[in-house]
Amino acid sequence: MTDVLEVQDVVVEYRVGEQRVRAVDGVTISVRSGEILGVIGESGCGKSSLARAIVGLNDIAAGQILFSGQSVAFGRGQRPRSLRPLQMVFQDPSASLNYRRRVGSQLADGIKANRPMGRVETSAEVLRLLEVVGLPYSFADRYPHQLSGGQRQRVAIARTLASAPDFIVADEPISGLDASAQASIAGLFRRLADQHGIGIIFISHDLAVVRELADRIAVMYLGQLVEIGQSEQVGLAPEHPYSQALLGAVPLPDGSGELPTELAGEVPNPANPPGGCRFHPRCPVVESLCATTPMKLTAATSTGHLVRCIHVSEIYPRRSA
């Protein structure tokens, strides 16, 4: 499988009064067809800003975003482009649904707008989309207000699928749903990846779901990636103290070995990020060098996955304790 999405050194900035807030600061990731990349991090770490940049809803100040080798967005002052094969699912399904129209006609509109076909074929495609997202055909006649939150999110996903995307960026698609709806929507994303070959970026605060669902996990802190690697590495044995603290709050699937670190304090203002390692003011294993040495993502010696921490770098080997 080749990388379908390549995000290279992307910067997203907002102007707030006189200040420039750098919400995403040099993020590089790639995702393949049929792969799910989970993106985690506390509120304000830049996950949504990155997501919106990828689908062309946010301008980027630097870097580039390639989709199937084609530039989606590049450089300050040049307008980002929205591409049909690259779609976004939002936390609130209302964002993509019209409450005054039946589900079936909304899906038909989505199909017609992106893939014009005859009436009979469109109706058949509406039913197929309902089937893909696990809803009965009879739901074509319902209005969104007649559905539960989980069902509405399924309809919103079906609406997204109407444009036959190759890639979906899902920003908190399971927040606000009950646990069983969360699990089944997560399962739906897994099927879209496995059976339809759709590449997916799945942003969520529910770390247990991400650990279970994602093939790889990227951890963001204050606009930067601090760790990225296979789920079994990052999700179960993270190397960065931030990832350890974040994921340490979530019991492991077998209930064993919770990680020891606790996450104190809050994410600093991105308008004025700490020097050196951005996590150093909150880091339980901070060293004096951490305040002055900006860290690059570096391959961890034990696993080879990427970690932005002085303790896993060659210049300052891990403490043995």
Ligand X SMILES: Nc1ncnc2c1ncn2[C@@H]1O[C@H](COP(=O)(O)OP(=O)(O)OP(=O)(O)O)[C@@H](O)[C@H]1O
Under the binding rule (CB under 6 A), the answer on residue 218 touching ligand X is no
E strand intervals along 54-213: 62-67, 70-74, 86-89, 167-171, 199-203
Pairwise CA distance, residues 286 & 121, whole Å: 61
Pairwise CA distance, residues 101 & 144, whole Å: 8
Helix 103-114 to helix 149-161 angle (10° resolution) is 20
Shortest Cβ 314–ligand X spacing (Å): 30
Under the binding rule (CB under 6 A), the answer on residue 229 touching ligand X is no
Under the binding rule (CB under 6 A), the answer on residue 47 touching ligand X is yes
Q: What single-letter amino acid sits at 155?
A: V
Element (H, E) at 228: strand 224-230
Nearer to ligand X by Cβ, of 23 and 31: the residue is 23
Under the binding rule (CB under 6 A), the answer on residue 117 touching ligand X is no
Under the binding rule (CB under 6 A), the answer on residue 95 touching ligand X is no
Cβ partners under 8 Å of residue 195, min gap 6: none
Under the binding rule (CB under 6 A), the answer on residue 210 touching ligand X is no
Q: Which of 14, 74, 143, 316 binds ligand X (CB under 6 A)?
A: 14
Under the binding rule (CB under 6 A), the answer on residue 44 touching ligand X is yes
Under the binding rule (CB under 6 A), the answer on residue 41 touching ligand X is yes
Q: What residues from 256 to 285 belong to the interface with ligand X (CB under 6 A)?
A: 270
Helices (H) and strands (E) in the chain, counts: 8, 12
Nearer to ligand X by Cβ, of 22 and 311: the residue is 22
**Contact 221/27 with Cβ under 8 angstroms?**
no
Under the binding rule (CB under 6 A), the answer on residue 150 touching ligand X is no
Q: Which of 23, 55, 214, 228 binds ligand X (CB under 6 A)?
A: 23
Under the binding rule (CB under 6 A), the answer on residue 80 touching ligand X is no
Tokens representing residue 74 in the block: 């590049």
Shortest Cβ 57–ligand X spacing (Å): 11
Q: Judged by CB under 6 A, how many residues of this single chain contact ligand X?
A: 13
Nearer to ligand X by Cβ, of 20 and 84: the residue is 20
What's the half-sphere exposure (Cβ side, CA atoms, 13 Å) at 132?
A: 25
Rule CB under 6 A: which residues touch ligand X? 14, 16, 21, 23, 41, 43-49, 270
